[in-house]
Structure 1
């Protein structure tokens, strides 16, 4: 049976929904989440407490100069569109200032939705990988299941076992990664979950490597070949990517790039942009 005339959203629409739209959000990341005074944040802030820079219209008063003002941590956070989903869909456009009695529930739902949207982003990325074709049907079913969770009521979302949802999706993402990396010739390094903080990997051949969840904080990756490497969950904070080749790397997010250092010679995957601070 043909599926051409159904009402399902296009891939472009699905991707757009997974991109943060701060104009449609009630500043949830600036209120719901806690942060501690550090190199990433200039002040301490408790969960549920509005950031001192949050304006009445829910915009950020220092958005254009976050790094210079001591808030680089804000520039590497990505809600994957969870903010507008919670604000406009889950709570129907009713904000926490207008309905303070619902504020605590909204703040509790936001991090749950953020995890669901992150999973949707990874599943959508996996479906764009031709080599992962053998698991595309399973990936589509998984994406539909996760999407249904995002449309639950606020109370149901607050009680959702997100870890169980993630455990159901991760094996599929791993299989998709394995199928893609199998096309890389030669021995492929396995650094899954490895502690590579400050590692000297300049010029390293990491084609098709598994760097899933690896700690690459301040690692020297200058000129490294990371083509088709799996970078899902890798911590790239302050990693030196100058001259590195990230072409075709798997599951690399914009937030990961934003947390790293690079230059005009760093080669990026399609769909990601060179951070302004590089």
Structure 2
């Protein structure tokens, strides 16, 4: 599976995340904006006019967001390079397609990671079959994308990823904590041994995970906003995404899985 295609290429996108999605004035956004309305910072060339200073200008949410490559796919493939400014008749369908493809690409990212896990060999056929289905849906025409039941598909993918998680974490020696869905906001977990733990869907907002060992921990859907990850070891962590990393606070000593980048604000 080509995970490179699931990484955002903003230069090939028509600023879809800056137009299609809504945001509300908060700690993450300096102003409110309705879905389908261009952000006031979006330039004529579809680039952000304040990209270098988003955090300083109150747009932290923009620096956290990751479209998993949906932007360039919708712009260049689904709509064949026609942009919503020069072809305004495409705007409604394009803005509706973007969040659907974004979710499908996120599922493809998880499935791609799962297929690369040696421990998942027993379910490799199921992973590939499901990934093929999701890829087929993501490549559909705008009218087809509008009918995709993303919720049902996410549940099916989640069940299979749960089985992969069990297979991977079963190889971790010692006690493996199960903190799925736990409210650990602000928790003091400095130096904690969380190898092989299930933290799926857990709230770790502003938690202190300094120097924590999170190798092979299941971090699917874990809320890591403002979590302290200085010196933490996340190598081989399961289902960690760039958006989660971007939302946390790490440093030069934080160890990340291959394929994820150290955010500039670290």
Which stretch of structure 1 is more off in the superposition, 261-270 or 145-154?
Answer: 261-270
Runs of 4+ in 1 over 6 A off after TM superposition: none
Match of residue 129 from structure 2: 141
TM-score in terms of structure 2 length: 0.97
Q: Distance in 2 between matches of 1:26 and 1:274?
A: 25
Instruction: Name the count of aligned residue pairs.
Output: 266
Matched, 1:108 2:96: yes
1:198 to 158, 162, 186: 186
**Superposition deviation, residue 152 in structure 1:** 1.1
Aligned to 1:242: 230
Could you give the per-residue CA deviations for residues 20-41 of structure 1, whole angstroms, max 9, x where no partner exists? 1111111000000000111111
Aligned residue number for residue 61 of structure 2? 73
The offset of 1:227, in angstroms, is 0.9
Aligned positions of 1:99-248 closer than 5 A: 99-248=87-236
Counterpart for residue 26 of structure 1: 14
CA RMSD of aligned residues (A): 1.0
Which stretch has the larger CA shift, 265-274 or 154-163?
265-274
Q: How does 1:7-22 map onto structure 2 within 5 Å? A: 11=1, 14-22=2-10
Cα separation, 1, equivalents of 2:157 and 2:260? 23
Matches of 1:245 and 1:15, distance apart in 2: 23
Equivalents in 1 of 2:17, 2:28: separation in Å? 15
> Scaled by the length of structure 1, what TM-score is found?
0.93
Q: What are the equivalent positions in structure 2 for 1:255-270 lying under 5 Å apart?
A: 255-270=243-258
Secondary structure of 2:167's counterpart equals helix
Aligned counterparts of 1:36 and 1:231: Cα–Cα separation in 2? 27
- How much has 1:46 moved relative to structure 2? 0.8
Shift of 1:273: 2.1
Runs of 5+ consecutive residues of structure 1 not aligned to the other structure: 1-10
Per-residue Cα deviation, 1:153-184 (whole angstroms, up to 9, x for no partner): 10110121111111221111111111110001
Distance 1:258 1:160 in 2: 29
Alignment gaps of 5+ in structure 2: none
Partner Cα distance (1:261, 1:107) in 2: 32
1:45 pairs, out of 26, 33, 40, with 33
Match of 1:8 in 2: none
Structure 1 Cα separation of the partners of residues 176 and 202 of structure 2: 15
Q: Deviations over 1:194-242 (max 9, x none)?
A: 1111111111111100011111100111111111101011110000111
Deviations 1:80-103 (A, max 9, x none): 010111111111111111222221
The 3-state SS of whatever aligns with 2:263 is coil
Describe the superposition over 1:120-153 as per-residue Cα deviations: whole angstroms up to 9, x where unpaired. Answer: 0000010111111111111011110000001111
Partners of 1:272 and 1:101 lie apart in 2 by 37
Give the equivalent residue in structure 2 for 1:3.
none
